[in-house]
Amino acid sequence: MFAKRLLQKVKNNNSSSSNQNNLPHGNLKSTDLNPHISLHYGVPSTASVLAFDPIQRLLAIGTLDGRIKVIGGDNIEGLLISPISLPYKSLEFLQNQGFLVSVSNGNDIQVWDLEHRCIASSLKWESNITAFSVICNTSFMYVGDEFGLMCVLKYDAEEGKLLQLPYHVPATSLTEASAVSQSYHESIVGILPQPCTSGNRVLIAYESGLIILWDISEAQIVVVRGNKDLQLDDEGFDTSPSAANDEPPDTTHSIQEEKEISSLCWASSSGTILAVGYVDGDIMLWNLSSSAINANQQAGRSPNGVVKLQLSSAKRRIPVIVLHWAADSQSNNNCRGQLFIYGGDEIGSEEVLTVLSLEWSSGIQTLRCVGRVDLTLAGSFADMILIPKAGSVENDVSGDLFVLTNPGNLHVYRDANLSTLASDSENASSLPAIPFPVVIPMTDPVLTASKLSVISKGENSPKALLEIASIMRTGASPAIAADPKWPLTGGVPSQLSFAEDKTVGRIYITGYGDGSVRIWDATYPVLSLILGLKDEALSTKDAQANSPVTALDFCSLSTSLAVGNKSGLVSVFKFYGSSEDTSFHFVTETEHEVRSVHQTKGLQCFAVFSLLSSPVQTLQYDSSGVKLAVGYECGRVAVLDVSTSSVLFLTDCASSSSSPVMSIVLDTFSDIGNLKSPKHSGSKNLKEPAESLAFILTRDSHVIVLNSMTGNMIIPRAMHPKTESSAISLHVIEHITLVSEASDEKEPENISQDSVTHIEPVKPIIGTEAKCDEVELHSSKETAYSREKLSDSFVLLCSKTALRLYTLKSLLQGNKKSIRKVKLGKPCCWATTIRKKGESACGLILLYETGVIEIR
């Protein structure tokens, strides 16, 4: 049972104390819980590499910690987590096959099955992989390593196996066939299947600058290029903004030193022009067509056909790290396009992504740079990728550009904007970029408060929320709605609709630093916006505008929403089924102003309480939604009667140190009067009327119990542990029978799986529909049930370093001694209780500062 897990206690206490450490911790296993991530929103902060499937229109983002985020159309997102938490060197789709291939820094090649969201097959490479490429529209892939060996792999989807084929090309074979003197341990830095050859030809680039075009079927070299025979027909083009390139120099320049290759890409759809970036910042465009080579030889010219580009004339430049080519589909001779470059600029210059508009006529020697644009980045560069337009697998200037920067920023430059680069590059320096449309904003605006509320079946609020949703969705704010022209359209969307029989089972409420509030339908893993409340609806002429939201609570029984902010203002909203004239209440500590207003249909503010100028720390409705408790940063507590828009009471500071109020629980007990004094602990008067209590927890771990109607102290003084620590939350656990003795327990360093369940995300979905879990989540109170509440309950105090459990009876009698204490092995920052419907057992979820989640 959950309670046994929480306390790590067994019912049988007859065993000797020497054997207690060997006792089982309970019968709950991690398999009974199966915690997993249903959906992951946004781009991970450690994102580092991109891949795209042009047919299925899916974008994959690899991270530095072994995760892969897959993004498709609207609200279609999934997260794949490798058991190996290492960065990815390479990430490529097996196009239109539903598989994704990743290569980690540990040289693990993994094939991911996107439909089943798991690793279908993996292969551990013995040497260091330095180059990787998938042959387009096939299941074959090339692997190059540090010793110059190129191998071929194939993924057999029917067998579910990644196979290494016997075909391989060692560096010795190529150097002997090319008659080029080269080290036998030369690393392969790039492998590019040549377009229009069905994978029969592949370009292999070595670290020292050697370039070989190899024919797989004929097992022979087609073209060899290298530093030794590199001779430029001119000194090249300086494409820096201060240079003029209309009249290139007429001198010849021969390069004899070795130039180390750092990047490469095809610069023509036919695979005849190759763009190569070097460590020294140079860019070479090579003509590899056989016809051009023969024509040059017959004319007595150099057969090399190469032109150099320089982004800067500085002597010390950063390496050319990334090269991508986008062809101009309007060009009849395939001699025009845009070259996207990261690197090549002077060391210490501003970090930009450079786009060169290039064109040539009869040969590469006639190349001209007709435009240059430097795109300013939103952070340090991580990766970029060109997204071809729908229906095309070829990069084109009419496609889209995705740029990934740190930490986890993804921006897209639309096709229309990229097309302007070639025609009007001078006015395109400030090209607008569209940020990745996040479902729930976290940083713009800044998320400052949130609340997940479960809506019980049978209440009127689900229908009311659906009415609100139907009203608000037609006029959703453009800043919130997704961009209808977003280029990613792949994946399978969830089958969600707002049909008449659909109910809202959960809502997620978010408050922001600009004072706005948004309510989301959280019934399914794919969240959808119900409505947004702007700051104008949350503030008055007497209160500070744009004050950050600091606390939220929602009562589904009364469809009432409470919002607290940093200026001490508490705004109360309720749902109006139709337009009507009603009263608006503005309440201060000394005045109660009533105004007549006309409320429209929907969620409208009907009362504002401005009692203190101290920030609101916590808000808590009682089970009926009539009373609302407000905890302030200054340590004071107010209890409001929402039905009459009045203040029941306002306390002095809950602790002598004026410590902020962290948690409030409002609850009702039928026999609490018999427990106030130890003298009456043996008898119970069931006819005694129920009493409403307010349990208040401050940051310095002081617990105060009040009568929530009068504000009178139930216990004469605040209770606090002997060892004070920073408190997080307080929870009342009702009617759990435990046999236990007062003892302290330290959290073991290596907790067994039978003791604590660590959440390991498995099988993340990509836009698939999920059922609503029959588990209730409580932030600081229990959901109201139609059952009598008994006094044989427990109070759980969660702090940063420990968990303490008290009986309600001992707490009300002023007993400071806990019946169970668990010292945590690492700092905790958040805690909540969970209860499965229909059961009295209760569980606990802990979130640590390290990001680890535990279920007890």
Average confidence (pLDDT) over 248-262: 60
Per cent of the chain over pLDDT 90 is 40
Q: Per-residue confidence at 571, pLDDT binned at 50, 70, 90?
A: very high
Degrees, nearest 5: CA angle 206-208-211: 45
Q: Which of 234, 372, 399 is nearest to 311 (CA)?
A: 372
Take residue 135 and report the two structure tokens written for it.
């042959």
DSSP state of 678: G
Percent of the chain as helix, strand, coil, to the nearest 5: 10, 40, 50
Q: Which of 313, 371, 373 is nearest to 344 (CA)?
A: 313
Q: For position 157, what pLDDT does the model report?
A: 95
Q: Per-residue confidence at 528, pLDDT binned at 50, 70, 90?
A: confident
**Domain locations in the chain?**
125-226, 228-437, 438-652, 656-856
Q: For position 285, what pLDDT does the model report?
A: 94
- What is the spatial distance between Cα 88 and Cα 184, in angstroms, rounded to a whole number? 27
Question: Cα torsion for 575, 580, 585, 586, to the nearest 10°?
Answer: 90
The per-residue pLDDT for range 458-476, each reduced to its tens digit, is 555 666 666 666 555 443 4
pLDDT greater than 80 at residue 556: yes
Strands 820-823 and 744-746, by their bridges, are parallel
- What is the spatial distance between Cα 260 and Cα 206, in angstroms, rounded to a whole number? 8
Q: Does residue 180 contact residue 227 with C-beta atoms inside 8 Å?
A: no
The amino acid sitting at 781 is K
DSSP state of 495: -
Q: For position 783, what pLDDT does the model report?
A: 42
The per-residue pLDDT for range 119-144, each reduced to its tens digit, is 999 999 999 999 999 999 899 999 99
The per-residue pLDDT for range 395-447, each reduced to its tens digit, is 666 688 999 999 999 999 887 666 666 555 555 556 778 888 777 888 889 99
Q: Per-residue confidence at 755, pLDDT binned at 50, 70, 90?
A: very low
Average confidence (pLDDT) over 179-190: 76
Q: Does residue 273 contact residue 213 with C-beta atoms inside 8 Å?
A: no
What number of other Cβ atoms are within 10 A of residue 94's Cβ? Answer: 23
The amino acid sitting at 364 is I
- What is the spatial distance between Cα 574 and Cα 606, in angstroms, rounded to a whole number? 7
The answer to whether the peptide bond before residue 170 is cis (omega within 30 degrees of 0) is no
Non-local CB neighbours of 321 within 8 Å, separated by 6+ positions: 262, 263, 277, 342, 343, 381
Phi, psi of 471 (to 5 degrees): -75, -45
Q: For position 648, what pLDDT does the model report?
A: 94
- What is the spatial distance between Cα 856 and Cα 847, in angstroms, rounded to a whole number? 11
The per-residue pLDDT for range 14-45, each reduced to its tens digit, is 333 333 333 344 455 566 666 777 777 789 99
Alpha carbon separation from 339 to 15, 236, 267, 323 (Å, rounded): 76, 16, 8, 7
- What is the spatial distance between Cα 348 and Cα 223, in angstroms, rounded to a whole number? 37
Long-range contacts of 336-340 (CB under 8 A, 24+ apart): 336/360, 336/422, 337/267, 337/268, 337/397, 338/397, 338/418, 338/421, 338/422, 339/267, 339/275, 339/283, 339/309, 340/384, 340/386, 340/401
- What is the spatial distance between Cα 522 and Cα 504, in angstroms, rounded to a whole number? 8
Specify the DSSP element, H or E, that contains 803. strand 802-807
Q: Per-residue confidence at 535, pLDDT binned at 50, 70, 90?
A: low
Q: For position 462, what pLDDT does the model report?
A: 60
Q: Per-residue confidence at 198, pLDDT binned at 50, 70, 90?
A: confident
pLDDT greater than 80 at residue 179: no
The per-residue pLDDT for range 76-129, each reduced to its tens digit, is 788 999 999 999 999 999 999 999 999 999 999 999 999 999 999 999 999 999
What number of other Cβ atoms are within 10 A of residue 549's Cβ? Answer: 29
pLDDT greater than 80 at residue 776: no
The per-residue pLDDT for range 810-835, each reduced to its tens digit, is 888 878 888 999 999 999 999 998 87
Q: For position 61, what pLDDT does the model report?
A: 97
Strand order in the sheet with 703-707: 661-669, 691-698, 703-707
- What is the spatial distance between Cα 856 and Cα 851, in angstroms, rounded to a whole number? 16
Average confidence (pLDDT) over 156-180: 86
Degrees, nearest 5: CA angle 680-683-685: 105
Q: For position 103, what pLDDT does the model report?
A: 98
Q: For position 380, what pLDDT does the model report?
A: 94
Token pair 């009876």 is found at: 809
Q: For position 839, what pLDDT does the model report?
A: 67
Q: Does residue 59 contact residue 50 with C-beta atoms inside 8 Å?
A: yes
Question: Cα torsion for 649, 652, 654, 659, to the nearest 10°?
Answer: 130
Q: How far is CA 16 from the centre of its chain?
A: 49
Take residue 462 and report the two structure tokens written for it.
């689900």
The per-residue pLDDT for range 340-364, each reduced to its tens digit, is 999 999 999 999 999 999 998 877 8
**Phi-psi group of 257: left, alpha or beta (phi > 0 → left; psi -120 to 50 → alpha; rest → beta):** beta
The amino acid sitting at 735 is H
Q: For position 442, what pLDDT does the model report?
A: 85
Of the candidate CATH numbers 3.90.120.10, 3.40.225.10, 2.120.10.30, 2.110.10.10, the domain formed by 125-226 belongs to: 2.110.10.10
The answer to whether the peptide bond before residue 407 is cis (omega within 30 degrees of 0) is yes
Return mean pLDDT, the chain: 78
Average confidence (pLDDT) over 195-215: 91
Q: Does residue 855 contact residue 844 with C-beta atoms inside 8 Å?
A: yes
